[in-house]
Amino acid sequence: MRSTLLQSVPFLFVTSVAVAADPAAPLPSPTPALEERVEVTATRLPADTRPIEEVPSHVTVLDRQAIERSGAWTLQDLLGLEAGAVLYDPVGNGIETRFDLRGFAESPATRVYLDGAPVNDTRNNELALHLVPLDALERIEIVRGSAASSAGGRSEAGVIHLLTRDAVEFGGSIAASGGSDGTSIVRGGVHGVASRLRWSVGGFDEETDGFRTNAGGDVRRLSGTLAIDLDERHGLDLLIADSASDLGNPGALTAEEIEDDPTQAPFNQADFADRSATLVDLRYRGSLLSALSVRANLFARDAGADVLTTGRAAPIFGGFFLASEEDAAGGAAELAFATRGAASSNELVAGAEWLDGTTDASGTFTSPSDPADYSGLPPDSVNTTEARTLALYVQDTFRPTVRLTLLGSLRYDQDRLGYGEQLPDPTIDDARTFSELSLRVGAVWKAAERVSLHASYGESFLPPTVEQLFAFPLFGSNPDLAPQDSRTYEIGLRSTLAPRLDLAVALFDIDTEDEIVFVPGEPPDFIGSNENAGRTRRRGIEASLRGRVADAVTCFVNLTLLDAEFRNGPDEGNEIPLVPGERVAAGIDATLSHRVGVRGDVLYVGSQILGNDAANGEPKLDAYTVLNARVRFLAWSAGRGDPGALELFVEARNLLDEEYATRGVYAFDFSTGAFDTFLTPASDRRLFAGLEWRF
């Protein structure tokens, strides 16, 4: 599964903004200052929280207010401006965009949990984030750095917790917007409280023609949540989410083709990806004694994909149609024992987790004479992949004084990956098992009332995927791959510079052994293979400044400086592909009157090595800067004490009409018989307008 993004570059664009009940009050800013006491998930499951100043990691928390004010259409819209983000578009439609953190671009290394249920594909750890029900979320927590001791493997870059909303009163909204490229969006939801029940339902539907040939399609998301307080000490929470997308995949272009017409798709006019995902997650929360609590969850997920790929090689080899269906189930359970004294506290957590996923896939080669026609053709490949994880973990958080917090955790994981083939060779049936023990320790010192310092060390690992090991023997698989292991060292600072202006800075160093990369071959063996490249290092600085600088003006600045390089082997000292060295996002929001507000966002992404170019022999992908602007107008408000309001907005994306590409690769061109650079162009200037009614 590929991760996705509605727009090729990561900005926060408004389709809805929270409005004040008093028509004389100013419009709120979409980037609020951090609250004095921000809580974050303390363990693997989201039932227990801890103040952010007691967590020894670089953490960002986006609450429901920030989500609503952002106007984001997808989760990537919301995450895209955050420090450490890595984003690029591999298929060219501006929606299916890969997302990760801290320089892990080609090997997905961030775990994402929705109410404790993993969103990552069990087969390859990929993320289809455009299918996440953003309107259902109450809070988003980004925890950067190796976190396998709390989240398991595949979390070298970090962990993102997505927590659904918990209604406190009746209310809702409905919004509609439209604009360039035939894009139209309708979204809405309603939530309420009834005795011991709290509930919410919501939906999102987008249709677009796309900014390129074959870049259009539709995205639909539906979700519902129900919270039941069984009594004062026990409760159940249920989430049901169903999403689907049908999107064209226009592919990459050469520099000459972009110069001629960046909206064309001459070799991928029929390519598409249909994806769906259904998740049911049930959580239990309760306390057994005054100091002993328990939380657990069970989930089941069904995800499917139909993907047609043709491209430049189609006149020679034809196309390929792949249909896959993933069924996954799992759960986790934790016991927490907490003691508190006058100036000290301690919480000991022990837990267990299991995950079992099976993916059935069939592939069909299409004819070179008609590569888009797969109907009625028998499958050429039928296989089943299995992924199973069993884990035990323990974590202790000790606060000996009000100024010092110490954390230590340990987790044991056993991952089994299996592959069985029914076609073309039923004798192929193989599996590998990987076991890892991961440690995490950290400390936070509150140096002053508004300043805290933290330091941490964390271990993580990334097992090779089933695909990398077995699934595509003719396209790079290597059954002898070893897991890649990482160690993260981090020091950081959090400070409140003014009552509503907050600063966070982190310096990190991630050392990885046996990193898995794809090494392209030369003709006639041009396909290449996955290899353990050896040692790599990613080190950098992340800084975030956000808050209110005046009563009617809010700003933010997020800076990432990253050095990612190979530490040994033939590419020692070279930069790791697809990792920009600099990334700066900044924005300002100003309320001009009680009815009118404006906002501007700017994103600069530095140059980066092309994909597949570990030798660093080709020119880099150019840096780019993109500016966006928005004006909002409060057309009507019901008055003080009544949440009813109607707001209008207009916005421009890529206001300066920058021509740029979010991704570049160096690969063999079958149409010319030579290697070339292929770029994924981003959209040109786009204009949108809409309205939202809140009740």
Q: Which amino acid, residue 296? A: A
Q: How far apart are CA 75 and CA 562, in angstroms?
A: 23
Q: How far apart are CA 112 and CA 130, in angstroms?
A: 13
Question: What does the block give as tokens for 270?
Answer: 């029929």
Our CA angle for 150, 465, 278, nearest 5°, is 70
pLDDT of residue 361: 94
Q: Is the pLDDT of residue 30 over 80?
A: no
In a domain, 646, yes or no: yes
Share of the chain above pLDDT 70, in %: 92
Task: Count how many Cα atoms sit within 13 Å of the Cα of residue 523 in the half-sphere of its side chain.
Answer: 8
Number of Cβ within a 10 Å radius of residue 48: 19
pLDDT of residue 475: 59
- Tell me the pTM: 0.90
Q: Is the pLDDT of residue 401 over 90?
A: yes
Q: Which residue has the higher pLDDT, 250 or 106?
A: 250
Q: Which residue has the higher pLDDT, 517 or 295?
A: 295
In contact, 57 and 456? CB cutoff 8 Å: yes
In a domain, 16, yes or no: no
pLDDT of residue 8: 32
Q: How far apart are CA 407 and CA 399, in angstroms?
A: 9
Q: How far apart are CA 556 and CA 544, in angstroms?
A: 7
Three-state SS for 471? helix
Q: Is the pLDDT of residue 36 over 70?
A: no
In contact, 95 and 128? CB cutoff 8 Å: no
Three-state SS for 578? coil
The 10s digit of each residue's pLDDT in 205-220 is 999 999 999 999 999 9
Dihedral sign, CA of 476, 477, 479, 481?
positive
In a domain, 19, yes or no: no
Q: Which amino acid, residue 260? A: D
Task: Count how many Cα atoms sit within 13 Å of the Cα of residue 675 in the half-sphere of its side chain.
Answer: 16
The 10s digit of each residue's pLDDT in 599-647 is 888 999 999 999 989 899 999 999 999 999 989 999 998 876 677 899 9
Three-state SS for 68? helix
Q: What is the mean pLDDT of residues 448-471?
A: 90
Three-state SS for 277? strand
CATH number at residue 66: 2.40.170.20
Task: Count how many Cα atoms sit within 13 Å of the Cα of residue 111 in the half-sphere of its side chain.
Answer: 24
pLDDT of residue 523: 60
**Alpha helices by DSSP H, 596-693:** none
Instruction: Grade residue 154 by pLDDT with cuts at 50, 70 and 90.
Output: confident
Q: Which residues contact 102 (CB under 8 A, 6 or more apart)?
A: 84, 86, 144, 145, 157, 158, 508, 510, 538, 540, 562
Beta strands in 578-685 (DSSP E): 582-591, 596-605, 624-637, 645-653, 661-669, 674-681
484 to each of 127, 350, 463, how far by Cα in Å? 19, 26, 6
DSSP letter (8 states) at residue 138: E
Which residue bears the tokens 């290092």?
537
pLDDT of residue 37: 62
Domain count, the chain: 1
Q: How far apart are CA 619 and CA 622, in angstroms?
A: 9
The 10s digit of each residue's pLDDT in 176-195 is 999 999 999 999 999 999 98
Q: Is the pLDDT of residue 21 over 80?
A: no
Q: Is the pLDDT of residue 17 over 70?
A: no
In a domain, 1, yes or no: no
Instruction: Grade residue 537 by pLDDT with cuts at 50, 70 and 90.
Output: very high
In a domain, 533, yes or no: yes
pLDDT of residue 547: 84
In a domain, 308, yes or no: yes
Q: Is the pLDDT of residue 473 over 80?
A: no
In a domain, 27, yes or no: no
User: Is it true that the peptide bond before 681 is cis, omega within 30 degrees of 0?
Assistant: no
Q: How far apart are CA 245 and CA 666, in angstroms?
A: 29
Number of Cβ within a 10 Å radius of residue 3: 26
Share of the chain above pLDDT 90, in %: 65
Q: How far apart are CA 270 and CA 213, in angstroms?
A: 10
Q: What is the mean pLDDT of residues 411-433?
A: 93
pLDDT of residue 28: 42
Q: How far apart are CA 591 and CA 526, in angstroms?
A: 57
Of 65-69, 407-411, 592-596, 624-628, the least confident = 65-69
Three-state SS for 568? coil
Number of Cβ within a 10 Å radius of residue 326: 21
Element (H, E) at 506: strand 501-513
Q: How far apart are CA 611 and CA 620, in angstroms?
A: 10
CA dihedral 41, 47, 51, 52 (to 10 degrees): 10
Q: What is the mean pLDDT of residues 335-339?
A: 93
Nearest to residue 593, comparing CAs of 71, 23, 32, 21?
A: 23
pLDDT of residue 107: 75
pLDDT of residue 670: 81
Q: Is the pLDDT of residue 524 over 60?
A: no
Provide the β-strand partners of residue 471. Answer: none
Q: Is the pLDDT of residue 16 over 70?
A: no
Q: What is the mean pLDDT of residues 106-117?
A: 90
Instruction: Grade residue 9 by pLDDT with cuts at 50, 70 and 90.
Output: very low
Residue 102 structural domain: 39-694
Q: How far apart are CA 89 and CA 95, in angstroms?
A: 8
In a domain, 647, yes or no: yes
